Structure 1
Amino acid sequence: MVTTLHEQALFAGGPIWGGRHRLTAGVEPHTHDFLEIAIVGPGGGRHVTSGGERPLRHGDAIVVRPGAWHAFRDCADLTVANCCLSERALRAELYQLPALRRLLWTDPVASGARGVAVRSIDPADADEAIAQIELLERDLESGRRPGRTLGRLITVLGILTDGTDRDGPEDAGLEAAVHPAVAATIARLEAAPSAPWRLDELADAVNLDPAYLGRLFRQYLGLSPLGFLARVRAERAASLLVNSALPVARIGASVGWDDPTYFARRFRSLVGLTPTEYRRRNRSGPAAR
């Protein structure tokens, strides 16, 4: 049974949240309408997603996009620190920082990732990030240090991006400043995901050849413009499935997938559950953090 964490309850009106936990048992499958970064410290356990399960290691950093689900199983004195970003924070200036683009967007939205990506950093770096999240949690509880909490967040993200080995031209390209045409197209897709976008229309809007715009998107995001649009639609649909009583078919139409059968197929390919399964499993009462 998948439960749901909601931004409104967890964030208390702010853009970020963080906390450290010691797990002595499993954490049931859960999803959220915000982005979660889980950093693994000492201890044992397994991580479960729609793609299967794997043993957890000290230094794992798990990024879970809105709408995706995951769980922890067979935990034995496992330290996990969570750093969470609201939709408002996720869709603001952070995308423009090249070092964060791969961490928060490219890897978890890539084809086959289903909204979850795992990278490994040095255990000492993971411990440093966990310590910063503990301080972030303390600052948030005080409610009087917005500048300091932002600094903690940037430090944690910096540790994660610095701690990943990168080599090769593909990685170098991902670290370049985002191309203006890509940024403009992303803004256009996020502003109106239900519109019947075609690649040639998107390319015309930024005065580029469609094939060239597609190559730029793959360089910066690892997927095509329409592949990115599908991920945005799936995340919006996931939120509506949990937070509204709208019929499933109407939710599909509201995000741009008018055919219920096609909506079910695309949503399952991106999230790992059909829309009906996702709604049923996410309506199970209060979620555990």
Structure 2
Amino acid sequence: MPATLHEHALFTAGPVLGGVHRLDAGVASHAHDFLEIAVIGAGHGRHVTSQGEQPLRRGQVVVLRPGAWHGFRDCAGLVVANCCLSAQALRAELAPLYDLAMPRRMLWTDPVASGTHGVAVTAVDPAAAEEAVAEIGLLERDLAADRSRPGRVLGRLVTVLGILADGRTPAGQEHGPAIHPAVAATVARLEAAPARAWRLDDLARAVSLDPAYLGRLFRRHVGLTPLDFLARLRAERAATLLAHSALPAARVGAAVGWDDPTYFARRFRALVGLTPTEYRRRSRAAVHEQPGPEAG
């Protein structure tokens, strides 16, 4: 059974991890409580998610939100370059990335869209993919250096995101408008207290906007309504609690703002692709065979 890769065990030297790996065998399905970007290079393999199995090809970019799960099968010389970001850091020191349209779409909007279960698969030009793989290799080298290089690591991360954005955006095309301040403020409120019984009226009042107008702004910039975005946040926090705590599933639901156990189970399955019980079982199975970060 698949396991869960845990942020507290992997992010010991900072908020970013990276590495380039060649897979010649399958990797068991596993979940993450952090965000992962996987850039596919040369080789062959199949990608396993809640949506089924799909063949992988050079230039694909897989982004997984915390709580999402995936795996690899039938790999032969498959190059996978992983760049992983701490979920906690995405709410703190890496939060400014959300203010930029390009990383906002890549790291937040696309993988939280309805029906994705937290996994977004896009494609870039193969040359851009190779460049991103090389940059992630340099990131891996910097992370392994004897002395800390936080500035250089952050620079590598921004470069990787820029390469991937340029690789899928025609030259000269706008990356999108800067996020509206009211949307940014609303996201911050939801991130800070996802268990609160938020209503659209409350959120709109806090930014002095009409609720319908805030809803339209939020959908334009985030791709979801404020309450749908809140549901995704709750599912991600619930996934972490299911993997890390012994709380009964019903109490996990209540802790993230879903007091009704039946409703919690239904919403969690719709957003993650597994019931809370299934997710917890997968996260705790095969602990001694848990894949390392190189597995994707």
Question: Which range, TM-score by smaller chain?
Answer: over 0.9
In the other structure, the counterpart of 1:139 is 142
CA distance in 2 between partners of 1:190 and 1:151 (Å): 25
- Partner AA of 1:99 in structure 2: M
How many residues get paired?
A: 285
Please, which runs of 5 or more residues in structure 2 have no aligned partner? none
Give the 5 Å matches for 1:241-260: 241-260=242-261
CA distance in 2 between partners of 1:90 and 1:129 (Å): 21
Q: CA deviation at 1:229?
A: 0.1
What's the secondary structure of 2:88's corresponding residue?
helix
In the other structure, the counterpart of 1:81 is 81
Whether 2:216 is the aligned partner of 1:215: answer yes
- Partner AA of 1:150 in structure 2: L
- Partner AA of 1:119 in structure 2: T
In the other structure, the counterpart of 1:127 is 130
TM-score (norm: length of structure 1): 0.96
Q: CA deviation at 1:166?
A: 6.0
Q: Which of 149, 156, 161 pairs up with 1:157?
A: 161
CA distance in 1 between partners of 2:104 and 2:182 (Å): 16
CA distance in 2 between partners of 1:129 and 1:277 (Å): 35
Contact 2:4 2:282 in 1 (8 A): no
Q: CA deviation at 1:87?
A: 1.3
CA distance in 1 between partners of 2:255 and 2:176 (Å): 34
Please, which runs of 5 or more residues in structure 1 have no aligned partner? none
Q: Which of 93, 98, 102 pairs up with 1:99?
A: 102
Whether 2:47 is the aligned partner of 1:44: answer no
Whether 2:191 is the aligned partner of 1:190: answer yes
Contact 2:136 2:160 in 1 (8 A): yes
CA distance in 2 between partners of 1:127 and 1:3 (Å): 29
Q: CA deviation at 1:144?
A: 2.7
In the other structure, the counterpart of 1:54 is 54
- Partner AA of 2:203 in structure 1: L
Whether 2:110 is the aligned partner of 1:111: answer no
TM-score (norm: length of structure 2): 0.93
- Partner AA of 1:259 in structure 2: D
Q: CA deviation at 1:2?
A: 2.0
- Partner AA of 1:149 in structure 2: V
Runs of 4+ in structure 1 over 2 Å off: none
The percent identity for this pair of structures is: 69
Q: CA deviation at 1:97?
A: 1.7
- Partner AA of 1:90 in structure 2: L
CA distance in 2 between partners of 1:48 and 1:278 (Å): 16
In the other structure, the counterpart of 2:229 is 228
Of the structure 1 ranges 250-259 and 44-53, higher mean CA displacement relative to structure 2 is found in 44-53
CA distance in 2 between partners of 1:201 and 1:247 (Å): 30
CA distance in 2 between partners of 1:52 and 1:103 (Å): 22
What's the secondary structure of 2:144's corresponding residue?
helix
In the other structure, the counterpart of 1:34 is 34
In the other structure, the counterpart of 2:291 is 288
RMSD, aligned CA = 1.4
